[in-house]
Amino acid sequence: MNNNISLFDGLTEEEEQQLLNHATSHEYKKGTIIFNEGDDSDSLYIIKSGRVKVFLHGENGKEIVLNVHGVNEFFGEMALIDEDPRSASVVTTEPTKVLILKRHDFESYLEKYPHIAINLIKVLVNRMRLLTMITGNLALLDVYGRIVRILISMAKTRIDGTSIVTERLTHQDIANRVGASREMVSRILKDMSMGGYIRFDNRQIIILKHLPSAW
């Protein structure tokens, strides 16, 4: 069996299966909060199907999205490692099935298979890079610039030279990712659409031509 869980790269299938034998599985409906920022916990989650969003709550129902995790990715490693409360909240954005590993089992495997620690460090470095980018975008770009960055980072190029953001995002979803109000995002997207830069198709955004770095 090949699970393609990058955390376990370098382990034989047998070793990987041995570790997963200690895991319990759980299914969540779309929109379920798996845990909240500040919760105590000793579990690591590996996504077998579905998708989750990592976010922080603000005042008046505001939120900022820090990350999105999909199949074979994991979350919950931070509180597992430092035993502090959860650094952020996690909600399912699709029906999601996870494998849950307890700290004790995970730690004993870390000692036995240093490969897992190396894989873990790589993912943490990657998350740090993403966070650096988010911080830079929030501090250095205006809302238009942040929207452009997020659209480009999520878009796939098509044969005709246009690009498509396949994930169906509401204006509120985009607002939560760029740290702006929904109203402002709607206004900017409308301007971009009227300028012939983007088009909406079945709640997907098509990027029709190069987006200027400033509006």
Footprint of ligand CMP on this chain (CB under 6 A)? 54, 66-67, 75-79, 86-88, 90, 127, 131
> 98-114 burial by CB neighbour count: b if 16+ within 10 A, else e?
bbbbeeeebeebeeebe
State which residue, 88 or 143, has the beta carbon closest to ligand CMP: 88
State which residue, 86 or 146, has the beta carbon closest to ligand CMP: 86
Q: Which residues contact 150 (CB under 8 A, 6 or more apart)?
A: 174, 177, 178
Give me the residues paired with residue 75 across strands. Answer: 45
- Name the nearest CA neighbour of 112 among 23, 8, 41: 8
Residue with tokens 């590996």: 46
Least distance to ligand CMP from the beta carbon of 120, Å?
11
State which residue, 66 or 165, has the beta carbon closest to ligand CMP: 66
Q: DSSP 3-state helix, strand, coil percentages of the chain (rounded to 5)?
A: 40, 25, 35
Least distance to ligand CMP from the beta carbon of 35, Å?
7
Least distance to ligand CMP from the beta carbon of 123, Å?
9
Least distance to ligand CMP from the beta carbon of 44, Å?
8
E strand or H helix at 114, and its extent?
Answer: helix 114-140
Least distance to ligand CMP from the beta carbon of 185, Å?
21
State which residue, 101 or 198, has the beta carbon closest to ligand CMP: 101
State which residue, 88 or 198, has the beta carbon closest to ligand CMP: 88
